[in-house]
Amino acid sequence: MRTIAVDDATFRLLAREATRLGTSRREVLRHLLAADEAPPRVLPERAVELVDVVATVAGHTVKGQFTPSTCELRVLTRPWSGRTFCSPAAAADAVARYFAAGRPVPRLDAPVWRVAGTGHVLRAPTARRVPCAPVARTA
């Protein structure tokens, strides 16, 4: 068997897609390289679940979608319009910086994401909270 070296960011993307699809990294890569083959099958128990969330900051309501399996949060409201962040905390920091208009934002003033249907505070796993840059994806 031969190996292919990939950078850490590419490896994480392959791992994330493999988790989302319920398959292996090898199968994800094979699918990406072979356009004529059928895509990997998504297992029902591994289907992507999205949770609608909202945050209120400076009198503005910001809408988003949280993916529990990856801990990513996609902000749907302008000026982000579909920008995906690696965690709810990263998205909250971006929202707080935008509405602070250049002023320093105290850590306790970051917006709190709430589940849209129930109003409960979104509780994401803290073990996966790492500093990150926004994921450069839009849909």
Strand order in 83-85's β-sheet?
Answer: 83-85, 72-75, 60-67, 51-57, 114-115
Question: What is the mean pLDDT, run by run of 10 residues, along the chain of 139 residues?
Answer: 83 83 81 65 62 86 88 89 88 83 62 87 59 50
pLDDT at 9: 86
pLDDT at 64: 93
The contacts of residue 127 (CB under 8 Å, 6+ apart) are none
pLDDT at 104: 64
The structure tokens listed for 25 are: 């990294």
Q: In whole angstroms, what is the distance from residue 2 CA to residue 14 CA?
A: 18
Please tell me whether the overall predicted TM-score, pTM, comes out greater than 0.85 for this model.
no
Residue 131 carries which DSSP code? -
DSSP 3-state of 100: helix
What backbone phi and psi angles, to 5 degrees, belong to 83?
A: -70, 135
